Structure 1
Amino acid sequence: MAGVGRGPEKPRFGEPCNGCGYCCALQPCAIAQEYLGAEDVGPCPALLFDHQDDRFRCGMVVSPTRFMFLPPDAEADLILGTMFAEMLAVGRGCDSEDFAAPETEEPAHG
């Protein structure tokens, strides 16, 4: 399954998230739309690539004050990031549909 050009490939629906960035590259979440004024099509303006871990991360979870144009505040980042992570179900598995080519059936031999 394809990813978004760098980082890991997209896991199958329901498998653990691996930070491929696929979902956020296609469509910003409701949090980004409400708090960042993002359009309803991607990529999300808060999508961050972590070069050290070779994966994407949500800026609204990692550093929300940065993306909300608030003064840097580690405590606010922790509180808001934890709240946003819970709202986004971070760590609960891939929630992006799999769009693979349909499997072909082999003809029955009789």
Structure 2
Amino acid sequence: MSDYSVILIHKHAPAKPMLGAPCNGCGVCCASAPCPVSAFLLKHREGGCCALVWDQTTRQYRCGMLLTPSHYCGWLPKSLNTVTSKLIRRWIAVGVGCDSEAQISAQAD
């Protein structure tokens, strides 16, 4: 068992912020491990989240479950996207700060 894993991040993604600093959309947390939402609703247990979405305009990663929950949970009516997004924001503590303890080392292309 190795002490590291490899995650792929868009080359224009912002650098991972320090632990506790505001989220900047770097995507490291979601690319490296499932959050409670991904584990519970998407039955995702390890590795990168399938709901991690790259936004080319802002050059940031976004949570697809926040943007359009019904896209990832087919059983969820689109009419509940707004209320579900609000619940998910609280569940993953959006705005609280970076909670990923992942240590990053860049690799050349």
- TM-score for both structures, normalised by structure 2: 0.79
- Equivalent residue of 1:56, what SS? strand
Does structure 1 residue 86 correspond to structure 2 residue 90?
yes
2:41 is matched with: 35
Q: Unaligned regions of 5+ residues in structure 1, if any?
A: 102-110
CA RMSD in angstroms comes to: 2.0
TM-superposed CA distance for 1:37, in Å, is 1.6
In the TM superposition, what are the counterparts of 1:1-110 in structure 2 within 5 Å? 4-6=9-11, 7-38=13-44, 40-70=45-75, 73=78, 75-97=79-101, 99=103
Counterpart contact for 2:52–2:62, Cα < 8 Å: yes
Q: What whole-Å deviation, never above 9, does each CA across 1:33-54 have from its counterpart, x for those lacking one?
A: 111121x222101101111110
Larger radius of gyration: 1
Q: Unaligned regions of 5+ residues in structure 2, if any?
A: 1-7
Q: CA–CA distance in 2 between the matches of 1:81 and 1:24?
A: 17
Aligned pair count?
Answer: 97
- TM-score for both structures, normalised by structure 1: 0.79
